[in-house]
Structures are given as C-alpha cells and as structure tokens.
Amino acid sequence: MLNILVACKEQKAPGGLEHLGPHRIVYSTLPDWAAAANALLSQAQALGGDALFCDDDVTFLPQSLVGVRRYSDCADLFGLDLHDMTGARQAGARHTMDAQDTLSDWTHPGPAYVAHVSTSAIYLKASALQSGVRFPEWTGIHWEDVAFCLDAWMHDLRVMAVPGRVDHAIVGGVGATKRRDARFWERWALNRQCFAKWCAERGVVGDSRVPIGAREL
C-alpha cells in the first residue's frame, strides 16, 4: 500500500488520489513545515513500503505515476512532472547543478537524473525512506527540499525527474503567491544562507555523487 504523506494543518487531501491505487493518507499537523515533513518520513519508514510526499493543493491524474512505474529500477526518489494553473510546466520544480554549485531550472519532462526535484510531488521508494535522509529544520522558508535531494545523492541514492503530470494549484513557481510579501523574501534569504553553509560543511561542490547538469536516459 502506498503511503501518501501530507504536511497540512487542516488535513486537506490532495485531489485525484483514486488514480494512485491502494493507498493510505498520513498527515502531520506540526506548524513547522520541515519538522512536519520529517515526522511524516519517520512514520512512513515505520509503516514500510513506498511513499508519495506531496502538497495538499496538487491533483493527480491517471498517468501521474507512469514515469515512476516505467523507471522504477533506475532511481530511489522520483520528481513528478508538476504543471501550474496555466498548464505550463512549473518553474523551480526541477534543478540541475553546475560545478560551481549554481542551480538552474530544468524544464523538461524527463527522464533524467538531476540535482533537485520539488517535494510538492515526490515519490520515495522504501530504499529512500530507510536511508534516514531528512530535511534540515531551518527557521526560514524554502531550500530545505534542495538540501534534502542533495543529501539523498550523498547517501548514494538516485534522484530522477520523470514524466507523469501532476497539476498544482499555483501560478508560476513555488511560493509565487507569497513573493509580493517582504517577509517571505526575508525568510527565503535566511534559508539561502543556511543552505550555502550546509553545502560548504558537507563538501557538496566537487562531490562526484551529485550530478553536474542533467543526465538524461
């Protein structure tokens, strides 16, 4: 049975769950997102099996897991193909990294190994859950999911962007509706500094396990 992991204080279910086959929803109502996400990962690890971590405002379609099923033996974490409310592929949902630790949007359906995929809809095999990889619990906003994916690579797990559309009820990139708020940018910048320090402490730059660019299949 697939564990659907949702960090949502209102315990709101994503749409289209009927397309995912047998499943159970596991919620965390902790106010801090990273702490809630880590609690969910620990619960899924204890339950056993695979998990799908997602936002409450996504909608799954009949073909959302086609890429996961087709390339199941090729990776441990799979970023699904997020589209925003305009029908465009979501900005900021997939990133490649260059040799200088600079992230760039990768707006293709996949399949490809990439540095980062959005946790708005990420499929985790049991191997990823059992690895113990967790989100850093910083006090700002964003960048935790980038660190999570990089940490997965550094635990010898493979992160892949795959086809399989999922609709996300936003316009633009993650947090787009909040980007007019100065407080948002303050918290974003705080976590960006935490992320840079995190990368330096772990020697992310130059680590051969982290892919440079996109490694397409």
Omega before residue 211 within 30° of 0, cis:
no
For residue 172, what pLDDT is reported? 64
- Whole-model pTM: value is 0.93
User: Which segments of the chain have a pLDDT < 50?
Assistant: 178
Q: What would the pLDDT profile of 31-78 be if each residue is shown by its tens digit?
A: 888 999 999 999 999 999 999 999 999 999 999 999 999 999 999 999
Q: Say how many domains are in the chain.
A: 1
State the pLDDT at residue 173: 60
Collect all residues with Cβ–Cβ distance below 8 Å to 179 and sequence separation of at least 6. 172, 185
Burial state string for 50-73 with b = 16 or more CB within 10 A and e = fewer than 16: bbbbbbbebbbbeebbbbbeebee
Domain assignment of residue 147, given as a range: 2-216
CATH for 147: 3.90.550.40
